[in-house]
Amino acid sequence: MDELQVVVDRVYNRIMAEPLEGKVADYIPALACVAPDRFGIALQMLDGRLATAGDAFSPFSIQSISKLFSLVLALQTWGDELWERVGREPSGTAFNSLVLLEQENGLPRNPFINAGALAVTNAIVSRFALPDRAIIDFLGHLAGDIKLVFDDTVFRSEYVHGDRNRAIAYFLKAHGRMENPVEAVTTAYFKQCSIPMSCVDLARAGLFLATGGKTLKGNQIIGPVEARQVCSLMLTCGLYDGTGDFSFRVGWPGKSGVGGGILAVIPGRGTACVWSPPLTEKGNSVRGMRALELLARALENGEL
C-alpha cells in the first residue's frame, strides 16, 4: 500500500476512535439535518497521488470555502483594484459581525468574513451577467472540468434565514461600497455557499495554490505573487477568529466552512481537504482541525 494512504488511514482511524465533539451548524436549517458522524479526508499531492479515507467522495455544502474561489475569480477580473474594496487584516471578531464595519466606514477587514465575501461577490456581480454561474463554472473547471450544481434546498434555507447577511450588505451599500442591488449580491452569495462538493473535488480545485497559481495542466489561474498573497490571507484569516489557533496547530494556509469542511494548502506539495460537520464555537470543524494537525505532523516527520 502507498505510504500516503497508510498515513491517511492511520489519521482517519485515530480520529474515529476519539469522542465526537462539537455542534453541527443549525442557524442554517438545511445544515442541521446532516449526520454528525460523517467524516472524510482527501490528500492530493502534486505528483498525482491521491489518498482518501471515510466520506472523502461524498458531496457536502462547501459554504464559506467558496469565498476562497470567489476571491480568486474576482482577482482575475479586478486585479489589485479589488483591494480598494476589501482589506487584508484579521478581524478578531465573529465571521458575521457588523461591529468593525461601523467603526471602519464600511470597509471589510478581509475577504473571508461575511462582509468581505459580500464585497467580493459584489465585484463579481459588476463584471458578470450571470455571477452565480461564473462562480460555479470556475469551481468546476478547477476541480477537473466537472459538472457542479447548486443545492436548492440549502440555497432556499440560506435565503429565508439570510437577514443578517442582507443587513451587512445594506451596511456596505450605505457606505457607498456596493454598487449593485443588495438582492442580486446576496442571492449570488447564498448560491455559491450552497454548492455541494466532496473532499476530493475541493482538494483538486485548490491545487493551483500549491504551485504558484498554475494548474497541473499548465494553465495559469493567477500569478505567483497573487497565489502567495491568497495563501497568506488563508493563513491569517481563513478560519475566522479561530485562525490563530489553527495556524499554530497546523501551520498550513486553510479555509473553512460551516458545512464542516476545511481546505488546506501544503505549499509546494499538494492540498488536503477534510469534512466533519460538528463545529467549534468559532465555526470550524473539530475533527477536521485535528486531522489536519496530525497530517502536518506526519509531513514534518518525513512520512509524507
3-class secondary-structure state, position 256: strand
* Cα dihedral across residues 187, 192, 193, 196: positive or negative: positive
pLDDT exceeds 70 at position 251: yes
pLDDT value, residue 181: 97
CA atoms within 13 A on the CB side of 43: 25
Q: How confident is the model at residue 92 (pLDDT cuts 50, 70, 90)?
A: confident
pLDDT value, residue 65: 98
pLDDT exceeds 70 at position 220: yes
* Cα dihedral across residues 41, 45, 51, 57: positive or negative: positive
**Rounded average pLDDT over 273-294:** 97
Q: Please say if 189 is a catalytic residue.
A: yes
CB 24 within 8 A of CB 277: yes
**Rounded average pLDDT over 171-175:** 94
- Cα angle vertex 100, ends 99, 104, to 5°? 135
**Rounded average pLDDT over 105-125:** 95
pLDDT exceeds 90 at position 102: no
Give, as one character, the DSSP assignment of residue 113.
S
Q: Please say if 258 is a catalytic residue.
A: yes
**Rounded average pLDDT over 89-113:** 84
Q: Can you list the alpha helix ranges (DSSP code H) found in 86-161?
A: 99-103, 114-127, 131-142, 152-160
Q: Please say if 214 is a catalytic residue.
A: no
- Ligand-binding site membership of 13 (annotated): no
- Ligand-binding site membership of 250 (annotated): no
- Ligand-binding site membership of 114 (annotated): yes
Q: Can you list the alpha helix ranges (DSSP code H) found in 17-160?
A: 29-32, 66-78, 99-103, 114-127, 131-142, 152-160
- Ligand-binding site membership of 104 (annotated): no
pLDDT exceeds 80 at position 205: yes
pLDDT exceeds 90 at position 99: no
More confident residue, 266 or 102: 266
pLDDT exceeds 90 at position 98: no
Report how far residue 122's alpha carbon sits from residue 74's, in angstroms, rounded to the nearest whole number. 9
Q: Which of 8, 11, 64, 286 is catalytic?
A: 64
pTM given for the model: 0.96
CB 172 within 8 A of CB 122: yes
CB 73 within 8 A of CB 128: no
Q: Which of 12, 24, 198, 240 is catalytic?
A: 240
pLDDT value, residue 1: 59
Report how far residue 85's alpha carbon sits from residue 75's, in angstroms, rounded to the nearest whole number. 12
**Rounded average pLDDT over 104-132:** 95
How far from 166 is each of 75, 99, 188, CA to CA, in Å?
A: 24, 15, 12
Surface-to-core class of residue 50, CB atoms within 10 Å of its CB (0-12 exposed, 13-18 middle, 19+ buried)? middle
Q: How confident is the model at residue 105 (pLDDT cuts 50, 70, 90)?
A: confident
Instruction: Supply 95's cell numbers.
Output: 465571521
CB 107 within 8 A of CB 127: no
pLDDT exceeds 80 at position 237: yes
pLDDT exceeds 90 at position 93: no
pLDDT exceeds 80 at position 187: yes
Q: How confident is the model at residue 97 (pLDDT cuts 50, 70, 90)?
A: confident
Interval 62-88: pLDDT, tens: 999 999 999 999 999 999 999 999 999
Q: Which of 8, 12, 173, 189 is catalytic?
A: 189
Question: Chain-wide mean pLDDT for the chain?
Answer: 95
pLDDT exceeds 80 at position 303: no
- Ligand-binding site membership of 58 (annotated): no
What single-letter amino acid sits at 156?
R
Which regions of the chain does DSSP assign to beta strands (E)?
40-45, 50-54, 60-61, 196-197, 254-256, 261-266, 270-275
Interval 39-51: pLDDT, tens: 999 999 999 999 9
| Domains by residue range for the chain, with CATH | 1-58+198-303 (3.40.710.10), 64-195 (3.40.710.10)
Q: Which of 24, 258, 274, 286 is catalytic?
A: 258
Interval 287-298: pLDDT, tens: 999 999 999 999
CB atoms within 10 A of CB 39: 26
Find the length of the chain: 304
Give, as one character, the DSSP assignment of residue 19.
P
More confident residue, 259 or 91: 259
